[in-house]
Amino acid sequence: MTDVAEDTTSGRSMYLLGGRRVMVSDLLGNGLIKPGTPLQFKRSRIGDTFHATVTEQGRIRLEPSGEEFRSPSRAAMVAAGMRAVDGWRAWLVVDQDRLLDAVRQELLDQAITAEAAKTHQESEDKTRQAIHERLRQARARAEENKPERISVRELLGFWGAKDRGDQVSQIEADLANHGLVTSPGFRAVTLDTVVVLTTPPEDATAEPTSGDVPAGEDDEGDGDLDVGLTVGNLTELDGVESINPNGTLEEAITKMILNDVSQLAVLNGPRNLRGAVTWRSIAEARHRKPDATFADAIDSSAQAVPYDRDLFEVLPVLQEHKFVFVLDETRAVKGVVTTTDVARHYGEVSTPFFQLGELDQTLRWILGRAFDLPTIQRFCSRRVNSFDELSMGDYQNILSREDLWRQLGWPLDRAVFIEHLEQIRLIRNKVMHFHPDPIPADAVDKLRRFNRMLHRYRDLL
């Protein structure tokens, strides 16, 4: 039996729920199911039952076709001709009379129990146990139809993360292993948007398809590589300023002034967008017709798009209309994105790039002015043929040398300078990895201050 708590390649403890999704082969390797175990997927509403068995390699073999899949979801999709279904909650382990999901939960419990039994626990082990217990509680609440509501920022805090960076894949794996999803999807909204921790809907995502099931890799989490910027990343989906189709111009103008907005959604119910009223539409209506009514000022061409729509697809609409309304996961109009929002976001993203570019150029100029190339080549991790090839690590190695630091003649503390340079390096790594969330304002301020200091003391050379 495979030890669920031991990574045989590194010799240190790990959890199956910590970094990747549990696979059927994990259940097989830990004796929770056996080769040949029969599986059933019943669709009671239409009276269909699909059959499969578990192979010795931990794959699911459909009967009678013989097709094999590593992913329970993919196997269920192909068997039933569905576009999407949670296979862990679809396949029943016949001889145990419980779902594959329940077997998966037992495996997670075993992994945590095995670690808890150790005499010496690392802090990482304790953290993993805390995450496991937290997600178990969330799963229990979801199954009681009392799902937990939490902001994306608070959710990331379970893992000690402040943004959706390098830990996103692990977070998604942990959620999936506990049979949880967020609604709306936590990748496609802002950090302060409130999401619901719930189980995947059994019917809403299991719509039959009239054609072939879409092709895809036979793996859990095929959609994990979702790195595009969405319209939901620019609005918190906490509601929009709106007006009823039977409103008046005076009401519309008053609402726009008091709420400092340039547009109102004309709604006949949360999901029935009839258009928009804007300062421009009011002006054009009155220009055409001095006694224009509210109905004359409604711009019926206003559009609404799902929160998870790629922002780049929406840019032409924004260019034409200057705004677009945003639908939440229930198709209700709950947000708005304007050209100003887009400009602000790209400003937040581009500022660190410009600051880092300036910092790179300044440091290279300083080193090129103070030293010759042979002097600094000795302290680079590789062969460099010009100062333009120097990296952040090279700056640190060179300026950490007390003899070279003295040659600069700066009345600055070398240790403090190098410490801040290391912080800059970490910021640079984060920026260059293109994480979806903006770099925090304090990090941008740190870049600005460092650049100002470099400009001030470079003149001493």
Q: Check: CB of residue 380 under 8 Å from CB of residue 397.
A: yes
- Which residue, 198, 221, 252, sits at the end of a domain? 198
* Whole-number CA gyration radius for the chain: 28
What's the pLDDT tens digit per position in 85-142? 889 999 999 999 999 999 998 888 877 666 555 544 455 567 778 888 899 999 999 9
Three-state SS letters, 168-202: HHHHHHHHHHCCCEEECCHHHCCCCCEEEEECCCC
In a domain, 165, yes or no: yes
What pLDDT score was predicted for residue 348? 83
Q: Compute the average pLDDT of residues 280-298.
A: 95
- Tell whether 49 and 148 lie within a shared domain: yes
If pLDDT is split at 50, 70 and 90, which confidence band does 69 have?
Answer: very high
> Model confidence over 344-357: pLDDT tens digits?
888 888 889 899 99
352 lies in which domain range? 342-458
Check residues 130 and 283 and name the one with the higher pLDDT.
283
Which strands form 263-267's sheet, in the order they lie side by side? 242-243, 263-267, 273-278
> What is the Cα–Cα distance from 307 to 274, expressed in whole angstroms?
19
Of 122 and 295, the one with more pLDDT? 295
- Average pLDDT of the chain is 86
Domains contained in the chain, number: 3
| Share of residues in the chain with pLDDT > 70 (%) | 86
Place of tokens 């679809």: 90
CATH of the domain at 258: 3.10.580.10
Given a cut of 80, whether residue 13 has pLDDT beyond it is no
Residues 125 and 185 in one domain: yes
Examine residue 14 and state whether it is found in any structural domain, yes or no: no
User: In this structure, are 160 and 304 located in the same domain?
Assistant: no
Region 243-248: mean pLDDT is 96
Cα–Cα dist 392/420, whole Å: 12
**Whether residues 287 and 393 fall in one domain:** no
pLDDT score, position 144:
92
Evaluate whether residue 135 is within a structural domain.
yes
Coil, strand or helix at 268: coil
Same-domain status, 41 and 175: yes
Give percent above pLDDT 90 in the chain: 64
Please indicate, yes or no, if residue 38 is contained in any of the structural domains.
yes
Contact 204, 299 (CB under 8 A): no
Torsion of CA 29, 31, 33, 35, to 10 degrees: 60
- pLDDT score of 345: 87
- Model confidence band, residue 431 (pLDDT cutoffs 50, 70, 90): confident
Which of 331, 363, 396 delimits the end of a domain? 331
Whether pLDDT at 161 is above 50: yes
pLDDT tens-place string over residues 167-226? 888 898 899 899 999 999 999 999 999 999 999 876 444 444 434 444 444 555 544 445
* Chain segment 377-399, per-residue pLDDT in tens: 999 988 899 999 999 999 999 99
Higher pLDDT, 245 or 439: 245
Report the DSSP beta bridge partners of residue 41.
50
Q: Same structural domain for residues 308 and 360? A: no
Last residue of one domain, picked from the residues 331, 351, 369: 331
pLDDT at 141: 94
Cα torsion angle, 408, 413, 415, 421, sign: negative
